[in-house]
Amino acid sequence: MQENNQENFKRELGLLDGTMLVVGSMIGSGIFIVSADIARQVGSAGWLTLIWLISGLITIIAAVSYGELSSMFPNAGGQYVYLKEAYNKLIAFLYGWSFFAVIQTGTIAAVGVAFSKFAAYLYEPFSDENILFELGDFKLNAAQIVSIVTIVLLTFINSRGVKNGKVLQTVLTIIKILSLLGLIVFGLTLAAKASVWDANWADAWTPRSYVPENGSWLPISGKALITGISAAMVGSLFSSDAWVGVTFIAGEIKNPKRNVGLSLFLGTFIVTIIYVLTNLMYLAVIPMDEIATAKSDRVAVVASQYIFGDIGTLVIAIMIMISTFACNNGLIMAGARVYYTMAKDGLFFKKAAVLNEFSVPSWALWAQCVWASALCLTGKYGALLDFVIIIVLIFYILTIYGIFILRKKMPDAERPYKAFGYPFLPLLYIVLASAISVSLLITKFSTCGWGILIMLIGIPVYYLTKPKE
């Protein structure tokens, strides 16, 4: 086993594979669901579109800033490595700890559950209402079993080498992009009504909040508007997350100094365009009241019923199943590389640093699988997403600030690619993401506070488990 971890990995992923990993990991089930909640918070076409646009721009700024870091450290582990180089092992460990405890595994669990929810459309017994086992307060339902089976299956595929995961990722993501574009085109050509579009845009910039008790709208401004926007942005930012996965597998990407940064830009740009177009299609097809009150928030199902009639529900169910399956494949593939790199630094179980005969960290893959499956059994998915987004934002802020630190610390290091718009755009990201984080902590302290607590528990764990220097 060579000490240089790069020599163990096979560089088998090209620019298309990298870009498809970014797109595939970003597009899960969010775009099909989240717009309903955003509509309830801000209640107008202009604000709904603007929130998706701002989330997309923030994400693109972050991704092109990461390009500089990925070209400086083109190795497995990505963001974990950048934090270690810019700060120290403790900060990097806290990221890795949060990543394993909540960020990656929590996201895998939530995406697995979204898959099973829509699988129940095709086969009713897969529903979460089908309780298979009860013990005290604990209830095991069919949807949880389905989500765990998909996580185990994808982990198995990825444990047999990066090539299998790569082919699955690229094929499913291309199907996903084409089906979303198809939905947009069919929506705008078959079901768009000028009357619906005009009504939705008549009061485009008057923010309103939906009152579910009596089905009315209240105009909002000032503090209520800021609260509404920050609550609305949890969903759109979560839907735009997971792009960072391509940096974790940099050790398996051909010409990583060029291709990782380019994959980040192309992937986030493609997804932002698709998300904004999808929402414009919703606004052309569905009246605002129906967007806000879509059953179980499934806006895409409502749109699809307008476009395709009764079969629309099945069309969307199959699309979301493909989408979430590809999303989890990307998350599972990328996540294990972080634990691998941590283990190399003596900050994770030693076995996670071992590659199997297929040159992949299979022990790390299976450890991730076990914990993500356990999280599927908790059933607290909404809370999991709040836990995740606050920690994710904090580490994005720290990583992007790391660009400023590394420019001072390593002024002469080779930087084949420099952060676009430096220092203005990275600073803009830090300011915007900090403002969102603060407002989240104020408005959703009960769940976001837990996220911060989980992260901070990592400090004593670090000092207790740190190898003696």
CATH of the domain at 382: 1.20.1740.10
User: pTM for this structure?
Assistant: 0.89
155-196 pLDDT tens trace: 999 999 988 888 999 999 999 999 999 999 999 999 999 999
| Structural domain includes residue 91 | yes
From the CB of residue 279, how many other CB atoms can be counted at a distance below 10 Å? 25
Report residue 245 as tokens.
């996965």
| Structural domain includes residue 270 | yes
| Structural domain includes residue 6 | no
| Structural domain includes residue 250 | yes
Residue labelled with tokens 């309780």: 131
| Structural domain includes residue 136 | yes
Report residue 403 as tokens.
């660009």
Q: What is the Cα–Cα distance from 368 to 101, expressed in whole angstroms?
A: 9
Q: What is the Cα–Cα distance from 57 to 51, expressed in whole angstroms?
A: 10
Question: Which residues in the chain come in under a pLDDT of 70?
Answer: 1-7, 379-384, 467-469
Residue 469 has a pLDDT of: 58
Q: How many domains are there within the chain?
A: 1
249-266 pLDDT tens trace: 999 999 998 999 999 999
| Structural domain includes residue 2 | no
Range of the domain at 283: 15-462
| Structural domain includes residue 3 | no
E runs forming strands in 11-89: none
Beta-carbon contacts of residue 414 (< 8 Å; ≥ 6 apart): 72
Nearest Cα neighbor of 278 from 173, 176, 175, 185 is 185
Q: What is the Cα–Cα distance from 289 to 215, expressed in whole angstroms?
A: 9
| Structural domain includes residue 188 | yes
